[in-house]
Amino acid sequence: MQNDIQEVLISEEEIQAKIKELGEKLSAEYEGRDPLVICVLKGAFIFMADLVKNITVPMELDFMAVSSYGASTKSSGVVKIIKDLDESVEGRDVLIVEDIIDSGLTLSYLIDLLENRKAKSIAVVTLFDKPARRTVDLQADYAGFVLPDAFVVGYGLDYAEHYRNLPYIGILKPEIYSN
């Protein structure tokens, strides 16, 4: 599997150090607020697990699965809820945990949805950000790494459902896509 990776962009050590930093900031921000921390599946599952271990305040966790219709390496903006939240967000301080923000369409849909459900506050933490590809005006409140405009895999992110288990972020060899 590792043979499919052309280049490691961000190492496991760099990712873990950044998550510690984010955890410290979020622990200070959410002191006394008992946030509802929402993982956007599937991509954010590893980040969610590592992040919440580094947030020291009481919290509840919930999971939501969404997918956008259309091509596999591009968001179409039409978001389908595969699995909805179990908890009500009404009156809650909500923290959305995302793997990567690309066009921003998925996140902008989610924020609208949670606003309509009357969340008290909504903040977004993303591990990876591709600001150059944004089609909607949207910024994460907390972002780990800014990435170049390239399709990346690993640390939760997939190509055709593979590579999510890699502990680092990398770029695939071009021939993998043409198979």
* Residue of 62, 102, 112, 129 marked active site: 102
Minimum distance from residue 164 beta carbon to Mg ion (Å)? 9
Question: Contact at 8 Å (CB) between 102 and 122?
Answer: no
Does residue number 99 form part of the binding site for ligand XMP (CB under 6 A)? yes
CA distance 142 to 28: 13
User: Cis before residue 25, ω within 30 degrees of 0?
Assistant: no
Which member of 89, 103, 119, 172 binds ligand XMP (CB under 6 A)?
103
Active-site residue 129, yes or no?
no
Q: Where does residue 85 rank: exposed (0-12), middle (13-18), buried (19+ CB within 10 A)? A: middle
Minimum distance from residue 19 beta carbon to ligand XMP (Å)? 17
Write down the residue that tokens 């280049």 correspond to.
Answer: 7
Question: Contact at 8 Å (CB) between 22 and 47?
Answer: no
Footprint on residues 112-171 left by Mg ion (CB under 5 A): 158
Task: List interacting residues with Mg ion (CB under 5 A).
Answer: 158
Task: List interacting residues with ligand XMP (CB under 6 A).
Answer: 43, 68, 75, 99-107, 151-153, 157-158
Residues carrying an active site annotation: 102
